[in-house]
């Protein structure tokens, strides 16, 4: 497997501690949190495992080269000196993705073009066929990050974002990102030790992520491809061992994961997605209007959901959130209820005081993950 090397995993705002904890639990060393990213060290097998198992990572990068950048010619020279043919074969397509905060260059597309020229020239200089660029579906994606005068060139080991788990075949209006869903569940303290309910399940993402957490199923077990599979040093046998080892760490789940939605189309899509994820034995979906339901079990209940915010789904906010609070208060004792909303005004209509509010982002929408602790009987009695 070779020795350890430094890697970087990207994540969403506020998820850095969750991702760092995941990495430590998987066995990473030198784990350090940054801004929407976490750096760590591991070997090639661990890079495979990180892509397969991490729930809150969007991408995993393997840095190749770091240097101080001063001008266009020097940048080209540094990229040209890299041994690109040792990384991938000329019949593979490639693309550069550039992010920068620097005065050295004005245009990220220009930087990507200069990097492309250097890479292609290196293949030609070694008497090899010129590899082609494919900006959308490249076999090999290379990331260039320039901060002030420091440049880092990294291989994108993931390819498509890791939120694309591979199980979601049917989507409803305003579906929640899978990495966001997993992060919200982990923030809520979901660990599979109680019954779970998503009362507005949409296309079922929270239900599926909740089941995978409860059973310790690798997050990306339904994915069939990662960018590292196109590298020259890809070890198919090692990857298969990592998959088998990760599946051997799954655990039994003895509670119920339940989803409601009042729309027949949402129920159909959720059933289809749960089946694709091979989780039908753990997840039950019913067509119900949450506002006309009562708690489905007598013991503790963990609830996480993504109600309409009034952004992409039109609802009467005061009425909707008022009913939400009334339903929780009257019919859901002994429940830990968590939901995300970007409409902070809507929270005023819930009629309950949240025990916790956490700032998160749903796409570009600044949102809050709120927690309402619904006691069995009065709160005063609970504290005695």
Give me the mean pLDDT over the 154-160 stretch.
97
Residue with tokens 């440049």: 151
pLDDT at 175: 74
Q: pLDDT tens digits, residue range 260-319?
A: 999 999 999 999 999 999 999 999 999 999 999 999 999 999 999 999 875 555 688 999
Q: Are strands 195-198 and 257-261 parallel, antiparallel or unpaired?
A: parallel
Q: Taking 70 as the threshold, does the pLDDT of residue 7 lie above it?
A: yes
Architecture of 178-217+252-383 per CATH?
Answer: 3-Layer(aba) Sandwich (3.40)
Residue 133 DSSP label = B
- DSSP bridge partners of 287: 261
Label residue 168 by pLDDT band (50, 70, 90): confident
Residue with tokens 């199923």: 217
CA distances from 364 to 342, 361, 367 (A): 10, 6, 9
pTM value?
Answer: 0.93
**Alpha carbon 200 to its chain's center:** 21
- Asked if residues 261 and 287 have their Cβ atoms less than 8 Å apart, the reply is yes
Residue 248 DSSP label = T
Q: What are phi and psi of 179, to 5 degrees?
A: -65, -40
Q: Taking 70 as the threshold, does the pLDDT of residue 80 lie above it?
A: yes
DSSP string over 334-380: SEEEEEEES-GGGGGGT-S--SEEEEEEETTEEEEEEEEEE-SS-HH
- Neighbouring C-beta atoms of residue 204, cutoff 10 Å: 33
Q: Taking 80 as the threshold, does the pLDDT of residue 224 lie above it?
A: yes
The domain limits of the chain are 5-156, 178-217+252-383
pLDDT at 297: 92
Alpha-carbon torsion (358, 362, 363, 367), positive or negative: negative
Q: pLDDT tens digits, residue range 41-79?
A: 999 999 999 999 999 999 999 999 999 999 999 999 999
pLDDT at 207: 98
Identify each DSSP E strand in 227-292 by its residue range.
257-261, 283-287
- Asked if residues 336 and 188 have their Cβ atoms less than 8 Å apart, the reply is yes
pLDDT at 173: 63
Q: pLDDT tens digits, residue range 248-263?
A: 999 999 999 999 999 9
- Asked if residues 198 and 206 have their Cβ atoms less than 8 Å apart, the reply is yes
What is d(CA 161, CA 286) in angstroms, rounded to the nearest whole number?
31
pLDDT at 308: 87
Q: What angle do CA 209, 221, 93 make, to 5 degrees?
A: 120
Q: Taking 90 as the threshold, does the pLDDT of residue 383 lie above it?
A: no
What is d(CA 275, CA 272) in angstroms, rounded to the nearest whole number?
5
Q: pLDDT tens digits, residue range 318-334?
A: 999 999 999 999 999 99
Q: Are strands 29-33 and 37-42 parallel, antiparallel or unpaired?
A: antiparallel
pLDDT at 378: 47
- DSSP bridge partners of 257: 196, 283
CATH number of 5-156: 3.30.2130.30
Q: Taking 70 as the threshold, does the pLDDT of residue 380 lie above it?
A: no
Average pLDDT, the chain: 94
């Amino acid at each position: 497997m070779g020795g350890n090397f430094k890697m970087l995993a990207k994540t969403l705002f506020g998820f850095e501690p969750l991702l760092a904890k995941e990495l430590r639990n998987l066995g990473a060393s030198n784990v350090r949190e940054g801004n929407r990213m976490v750096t760590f060290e591991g070997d090639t097998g661990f890079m495979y495992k990180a892509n397969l198992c991490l729930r809150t990572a969007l991408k995993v990068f393997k840095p190749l080269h770091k240097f101080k950048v001063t001008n266009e010619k020097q940048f080209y020279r540094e990229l040209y000196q890299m041994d690109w043919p040792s990384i991938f074969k000329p019949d593979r397509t490639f693309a550069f993705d550039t992010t920068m905060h620097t005065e050295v260059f004005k245009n990220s597309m220009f930087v990507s073009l200069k990097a492309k020229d250097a890479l292609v020239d290196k293949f030609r200089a070694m008497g090899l066929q010129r590899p082609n660029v494919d900006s959308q579906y490249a076999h090999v994606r290379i990331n260039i990050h320039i901060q002030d005068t420091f440049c880092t060139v990294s291989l994108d080991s993931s390819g498509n974002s890791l939120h694309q788990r591979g199980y979601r075949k049917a989507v409803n209006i305003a579906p929640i990102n899978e990495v966001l869903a997993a992060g919200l569940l982990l923030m809520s303290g979901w660990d599979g030790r109680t019954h779970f309910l998503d009362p507005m399940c949409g296309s079922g993402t929270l239900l599926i992520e909740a089941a995978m957490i409860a059973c310790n199923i690798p997050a990306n077990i339904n994915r069939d491809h990662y960018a590292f599979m196109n590298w020259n040093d890809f070890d198919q046998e090692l990857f298969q061992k990592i998959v088998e080892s990760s599946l051997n760490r799954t655990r039994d789940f003895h509670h119920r994961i339940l989803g409601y939605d009042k729309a027949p189309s949402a129920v159909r899509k959720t059933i289809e997605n749960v089946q694709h994820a091979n989780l039908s034995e753990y997840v039950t979906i019913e067509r119900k209007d949450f506002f006309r339901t009562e708690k489905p079990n007598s013991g503790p209940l963990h609830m996480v959901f993504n109600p309409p915010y009034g952004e992409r789904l039109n609802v009467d906010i005061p009425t909707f959130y008022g009913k939400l609070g009334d339903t929780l208060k009257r019919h859901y004792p002994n429940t830990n209820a968590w939901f995300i909303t970007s409409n902070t005004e809507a929270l005023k209509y819930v009629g309950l005081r949240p025990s916790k509010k956490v700032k998160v982002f749903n796409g570009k929408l600044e949102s809050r993950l709120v927690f309402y602790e619904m006691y069995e009987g009065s709160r005063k009695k609970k504290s005695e």
